[in-house]
Amino acid sequence: MKKYLQYTAICLLACLLQQCSYSQNNKDAENTATKSNTTKKNPVYSTTDTAQLKLTDAEWKKILPARVYEIARLKGTERPFSSIYENFKEKGTYYCAVCGNPLFQSDTKFESNCGWPSFFEPISKGSIIYQQDNSHGMSRTEVICGRCHSHLGHVFHDGPPPTGLRYCINGVVLNFSKAQKAADNYKNKKKAD
Ligand SMILES: [Zn+2]
């Protein structure tokens, strides 16, 4: 009986050890996967540098996450209603996810219900470049980033006042940054509370 108990205890211990190393391996795999998604180095990303960027497709592919590369450089379109920015109402600035160029302010964002984040006006004239797009049997105006010339989306003439424009933008190529002032106010208010 004693022997049997000893045997059971050893089995249990071995099993626990195995379980332990299994979950450790799993964690390592998870960490590696997360790292490869988030630590992709993009040496040209800057929210202050305005110098024009001219990289080859191969160079972009190396430094951009796959889904950003596909929309921005291969003129892809994200699935409608798939962007976290579609019904997003935080105050702040939207930057080009490829290069960091400031594109839109949150106070020019509106609910278009078209399935993509929509704005009625870019931050400045130079932040966006307009191009004729006759693909897919349609005549549209494509909007590209003024700094890195990445595809962002299209602009249509059915937007709200004051511009009457609707910049229909793929959320994948946007990076949002909360307004610093608003964030500070919030922090101070919290402290006062
Ligand atoms: Zn850009």
List, for residues 133-145, the tens digit of each pLDDT value: 999 999 999 999 9
Distance 164 CA to ligand 1 centre (A): 24
Percentage of residues in the chain having pLDDT higher than 70? 73
What is the total count of domains within the chain? 1
Q: Which pTM was predicted?
A: 0.73
In this structure, are residues 35 and 136 in contact, taking their beta carbons and an 8 Å threshold? no
Distance 63 CA to ligand 1 centre (A): 13
Give the H or E element holding residue 102.
strand 102-105
Q: Is 168 a catalytic residue?
A: yes
In a domain? residue 153: yes
Residues 117-136, mean pLDDT to the nearest whole number = 96
CB under 8 Å to 140, separation ≥6 — which residues?
133, 134, 154, 156
In a domain? residue 36: no
In a domain? residue 6: no
pLDDT band for position 187 (50/70/90)? low
In a domain? residue 170: yes
In a domain? residue 74: yes
Which residue range forms the structural domain that includes residue 159? 57-179
Segment 92-112, tens digit of pLDDT: 999 999 999 999 999 999 999
Distance 100 CA to ligand 1 centre (A): 6
What CATH code is carried by the domain that includes residue 73? 2.170.150.20
CA distance 170 to 115: 9
In a domain? residue 150: yes
pLDDT band for position 2 (50/70/90)? low
In a domain? residue 139: yes
In a domain? residue 41: no
